[in-house]
Structure 1
Amino acid sequence: MSFKLISIKDVPKSKLKKFDCGTEVLNEFLSRYSLKNDTLGIGRTFVAFDDKDEVVGYFTLATAQVVYEDIPDEYRGKLPKYPIPSLRIARLAVGKNLQGNGIGKWLLAQAFIKIVHVAEITGLYFIIVDAKETSKSFYEHYGFIKFKDKELSYFLTVETVRKAMEG
């Protein structure tokens, strides 16, 4: 199965309403709020289509920052004691009938590619995600690390992803 990734602004609304990942808040975001957020510059959403031109998943990226106190001690190293520039994977969802088929992994890889490109032109240290209880094992599987005292908030460094991509 092959996929194509398209910016939300190029996706017909009728396609968005059909998407169902099994989590209503994620479905509603895609169909009702993603385009407006993109237009306002709040977050950028990218939608994956299969070869039948059906929506199979999406992710949203948004800028963020991490306060120094939330960073685990072993990652503080040379970091300054002020908020650290970051990019948030604000949402990532796969159609419920396709979950477990590698689409989430593919979407995460596509998000990483975009994040590394952003990091080439601006300051960016962390990739962060606020997982759902049902998705925390997914992020842990791909090496995301918990922030201090935040049960479902995870991070990776951009450098970790960059090195993995260089492979």
Structure 2
Amino acid sequence: MKLIQITDTDRKLLEEFSCLFSDYTSEDLRKDHEKIDIFLKEEATTHHLNHYVRTYLLLNETEDKVIGFFSLFNDEIKVTNGKRSSLKFKGFTIYRPETDIYPSIRLHQFAINNEFQGKFYQGIKYSDYLMGHVLATIKEVAAKSGCMFIGLEATDNSLKFYKSFNFIEFKKKDNNKLPFLIFKVADLFE
């Protein structure tokens, strides 16, 4: 397998990608997955070229299929005193500078092609393998620039996956807003 930037591939590979399931129990989840597909096919390259996000593709061994992708951008997270106390209660202590704003990296998109969902590569799920690349990429950035958190919005079917990597729920799902999860980047250096 090979990890490449989105600009280093043929557009045809992007068009063949889909993270959609064959059937859904939730219309909201189907819409969320459609947005992910649309992002990759219609927005990711332009965002990448304009330095808004960085999108990386995981290709199969023959480099003719996108197994999955992720997109990252710089962000900030506001942690109020009340939220800080809530996090501390969960065993999640953070450094407290003179501000409530913390530098972070947003995992904007993360998806596995439906042909590879739930499947394994050398004993590791493709999703876990790709998440390993996400964390390694963020660790490289954090070693060179201030970054305290990884933040992301999680679809209903992905909450358990992210929590298995020690992401914690920072904001609960609220109406049409997805739940927001965070990960303490310092944990990558332990």
TM-score relative to the length of structure 1: 0.90
Q: Which amino acid aligns with 2:128?
A: K
1:138 maps to what in 2? 161
1:64 maps to what in 2? 75
Secondary structure at 2:68 match in 1: strand
2:95 to 70, 78, 84: 78
Within 5 Å, give how 1:10-159 maps onto structure 2: 10-22=8-20, 23-53=33-63, 54-69=65-80, 70-71=83-84, 72-74=86-88, 75=92, 77-80=94-97, 81-101=99-119, 102-147=125-170, 149-151=171-173, 152-159=179-186
> Residues 73, 137 of structure 1: CA spacing in aligned structure 2 closer, same or farther, 3 A cutoff?
closer
Determine which structure has more spread, i.e. the larger CA radius of gyration: 2
TM-score relative to the length of structure 2: 0.79
> Residues 76, 28 of structure 1: CA spacing in aligned structure 2 closer, same or farther, 3 A cutoff?
same
Secondary structure at 1:135 match in 2: helix
Secondary structure at 1:25 match in 2: helix
How far the C-alpha of 1:40 sits from its partner, in A, is: 1.1
User: Any conservation in 2 of the 1:68–1:76 contact (CA below 8 Å)?
Assistant: no
2:6 maps to what in 1? 8
Secondary structure at 1:98 match in 2: coil
Q: Which amino acid aligns with 1:27?
A: D
The 2-side partners of 1:77 and 1:92 are apart by 26
Gap runs ≥5 in structure 2? 21-32, 120-124, 174-178
The 1-side partners of 2:189 and 2:109 are apart by 21
Aligned-residue Cα RMSD (Å) equals: 1.4
Q: Which amino acid aligns with 2:77?
A: V
Secondary structure at 1:134 match in 2: helix
Q: Which runs of 4+ in 1 moved over 3 A?
A: 70-73, 75-78
1:127-148 per-position Cα deviation (integer Å, ceiling 9, x unaligned) = 111101111111011111111x
Gap runs ≥5 in structure 1? none
How far the C-alpha of 1:52 sits from its partner, in A, is: 2.9
Percent of aligned pairs with the same amino acid: 25
The 2-side partners of 1:141 and 1:156 are apart by 11
How far the C-alpha of 1:77 sits from its partner, in A, is: 4.4
